[in-house]
Structure 1
């Protein structure tokens, strides 16, 4: 019975795809072990754990319109670690910013930092935020389960690409940016490597994956160049992104926020570009499979027809995806009666226009590029086989 289930899981999976997946899994394990290089900045003699809020005293808290000030007094019972069961009296200070403040109630679970000195004497107990690790793990577990149940081995490959991308950005790309490496070049190299791993996991190590990778890489390269060209005339300061200015104040004055902004444009456009490249490559692969004697010219025409059909919805997809992040900002400006000319000249809005249009430009370009790559790689190899 177990063998039957195992064979069902690997149904239609090729040996080379299984080997490549195991190689990527090994890379994930290796990257997990790699230090970021910033561990020494973590607070010394600190324990991070989960606490249960037993009681709350709001006598020192004040509400001014929508903004809270003052603080809460909390009694928290530690639920994990060496101090499990211990009750501490601590506070929750309001910062006056809704996106950063949190209001605890009895029964809430808090993420607690317990600081000690050299002789293990507790010096401070701080509730930094709500404890969300458990529900995050549950959500990720449900996501992984659905992928495995629906896709089997291919669902496992999709989940593996998700994990690999996360580790590559968290363990390699972000630390290298913090260390001063050029963010534009770094983001481009990162997305090319990520695209290669993801596309080969999804399509297999074959011509379909190679064509999609070439199309996506060239499309992203053009996207980076266009962003570099237009970011100057747009006069966009990278500080328009949340926490960018704070990043400088945190001791990273060597960073160029504008180049970080451009790197973010390349990174955010990579997913849609990769999808479009794979759609066109897969469609052209099926055309060649069903009509092996097709000419390069006819395949090129068919690929362009497919590309034109897809780019209309894909560019709109980017518009919807990006607009969700700045919906409240546009609502604020419109609600204040700001004229459209003024609205479009505000740096925040101009940055999002640049972000959206350049990303869409990359999508428009990746279609003919992928089609050309497919026409060159699919047809000649097929003719040699014949």
Structure 2
């Protein structure tokens, strides 16, 4: 049933309008916002491809673009599948696909609910809270977040779509994001350098472990429906195993960077309180702080990946699937490798950052003594 729904959706979205036995290509396609003015429920159901389809006859007013203010009538097909159906009522705001054909012929299809307004409100609240609570540091955090998003959207993703190896792209992007973020937040000093070295090392280690283990257990990188659809569109272009491992690298970056910065900051504060501590004592102090951070941050990674898989886990539990079957499924093995690789990289970031931080601080002390 699920496969049939996907086939129906792909045909509905991608196949041009059929007229008199021929397919007509639209000259232009626009995605615009619209409001539902009127809905008339169709009587009974139609049978399309072996699936019962219910029809809503919908009147829409376009709210954006070149057709703003114009009213169109369209049919909205429902397959009684809540995962994919877009059932509408009067007053709903939706996203519509407007297809223009020759001779001023226009077809309008409901594509999805219009969700962007509330998403923008939530984003605005998030930024406002960062600025109110963080003030100057909060502003810097917003700047680094913007840079991170731009690096991924304008750099990482386009390069991957060109068929370039996603693993080195993700490693370089992760190091670049780490350097920019920490320098903007903390400035150029021994603390930031130690955090950058520790974070970059942890991310690279996480990626290498994921690559090695993923190759050994033969992960395909095609465990998700999105990857399967990409395979249809970009077969022979994209490296799906590489996409999987690059996702692990980028997914672990945030938590690893947090740990690296926390350890470096703690060691610097301890040194400022007592600059007579030796390199070993500073290292041990950083490790003690890291042990406290480690428990909560590893939970963060594990829970983040588990939370995204709750429906799947419930499905296994409801069907009483055996543990050996669950663990060996590609989709589950992928999530296990993803979460454990990131957690290992996070754990190893603690001693690496502590070691580099203690070394740089004591070397700075020696340079001060020599200059005196």
TM-score normalised by the shorter chain: which range applies? Answer: 0.7 to 0.9
Task: Write out per-residue CA displacement over residues 161-196 of structure 1, whole angstroms, 9 at most, x where no aligned residue.
Answer: 111111111111001001011111111111111111
Relative distance call for 1:315 and 1:60 in structure 2 (3 A) is: farther
Aligned-residue offset at 1:88: 0.2
Q: Which one of the candidate residues 35, 60, 64 is aligned to 1:76?
A: 60
The answer to whether structure 1 residue 55 and structure 2 residue 38 are counterparts is: yes
> What is aligned with 1:104?
88
> What is aligned with 1:159?
142
Q: Which one of the candidate residues 293, 299, 307 is aligned to 1:324?
A: 307
SS in 2 for 1:152: helix
Stretches of structure 1 that go unaligned for 5 or more consecutive residues are: 1-42
SS in 2 for 1:238: coil
Report the Cα distance in structure 2 between the residues aligned to 1:328 and 1:263, rounded to whole angstroms.
24
Q: Which one of the candidate residues 175, 185, 192 is aligned to 1:209?
A: 192
The answer to whether structure 1 residue 88 and structure 2 residue 72 are counterparts is: yes
Aligned-residue offset at 1:136: 1.9
Task: Write out per-residue CA displacement over residues 14-42 of structure 1, whole angstroms, 9 at most, x where no aligned residue.
Answer: xxxxxxxxxxxxxxxxxxxxxxxxxxxxx
> What is aligned with 2:218?
235
Report the Cα distance in structure 1 between the residues aligned to 2:309 and 2:197, rounded to whole angstroms.
32
Task: Write out per-residue CA displacement over residues 309-361 of structure 1, whole angstroms, 9 at most, x where no aligned residue.
Answer: 21122111211111001111011011101122222122211111111111111
Relative distance call for 1:77 and 1:61 in structure 2 (3 A) is: farther
Q: TM-score if structure 1 supplies the norm length?
A: 0.83
SS in 2 for 1:231: helix
Q: How many pairs were matched up?
A: 341
> What is aligned with 1:373?
356
Stretches of structure 2 that go unaligned for 5 or more consecutive residues are: 1-25
The answer to whether structure 1 residue 186 and structure 2 residue 138 are counterparts is: no
Task: Write out per-residue CA displacement over residues 187-217 of structure 1, whole angstroms, 9 at most, x where no aligned residue.
Answer: 1111111111111222222221111110000
Report the Cα distance in structure 1 between the residues aligned to 2:145 and 2:328, rounded to whole angstroms.
37
**Aligned 8 A contact 2:27 2:102 in 1:** no
Task: Write out per-residue CA displacement over residues 25-74 of structure 1, whole angstroms, 9 at most, x where no aligned residue.
Answer: xxxxxxxxxxxxxxxxxx8633332211011233267599xx98443221
Report the Cα distance in structure 2 between the residues aligned to 1:116 and 1:47, rounded to whole angstroms.
8
Relative distance call for 1:206 and 1:95 in structure 2 (3 A) is: farther
> What is aligned with 1:21?
none
The answer to whether structure 1 residue 308 and structure 2 residue 291 are counterparts is: yes
Aligned-residue offset at 1:284: 0.7
The answer to whether structure 1 residue 297 and structure 2 residue 280 are counterparts is: yes
Report the Cα distance in structure 2 between the residues aligned to 1:329 and 1:132, rounded to whole angstroms.
25
Report the Cα distance in structure 1 between the residues aligned to 2:319 and 2:150, rounded to whole angstroms.
42
1:2-21 counterparts in 2 under 5 A? none
Q: Which one of the candidate residues 180, 195, 209 is aligned to 1:226?
A: 209
